[in-house]
Amino acid sequence: MNGVITVDDMRFVKKFLITRVSIIGTPYVMYDVWVPGEDGSTITFINGQKYYKLTTKTLPEKLDVLPAMTKERFDRVRTWRNRLDKAARNLILKAYPDAKIDKNFIEVID
């Protein structure tokens, strides 16, 4: 059945939980970094613990209060998001050093 997702493996790097997920019927493997708590827009429960996806962390108030549709807000939010993406990539590669992930944290397995 295409599109079914199963968690292949989970590894901790400090407090962060990194998941490796195969999409059945495809050559794709996705990696995600989860943080204990609920400070993000994507939340899940793993073994009874609430986690949020690092790259969906809620925008800090100091950025959220910047005027909408301004270059300053755009630039500062983009810089903040890029830092989250870089942190996620580094954590994934610490947990799975041989992973060959793209910018969306997806690996194609031959």
Q: Splitting the chain (110 residues) into consecutive groups of 10 residues, what average pLDDT does each group show?
A: 67 97 90 96 91 97 97 98 98 97 92
Nearest to 43 by CA among 53, 57, 33: 53
Residue 84, pLDDT score: 98
Q: Which domain holds residue 92?
A: 5-108
Query: What letter does residue 25 receive in the DSSP assignment?
Result: T
Residue 1, pLDDT score: 41
Q: Rounded to an integer, what is the distance from CA 21 to the centroid of its chain?
A: 12
Which amino acid does the sequence have at 15?
K
- Does this model's pTM top 0.85? My answer is yes
Burial class for 8, CB neighbours closer than 10 Å (0-12, 13-18, 19+): exposed
* Overall domain count for the chain: 1
Residue 77, pLDDT score: 97
- The token pair that represents 67 in the structure block: 């005027």
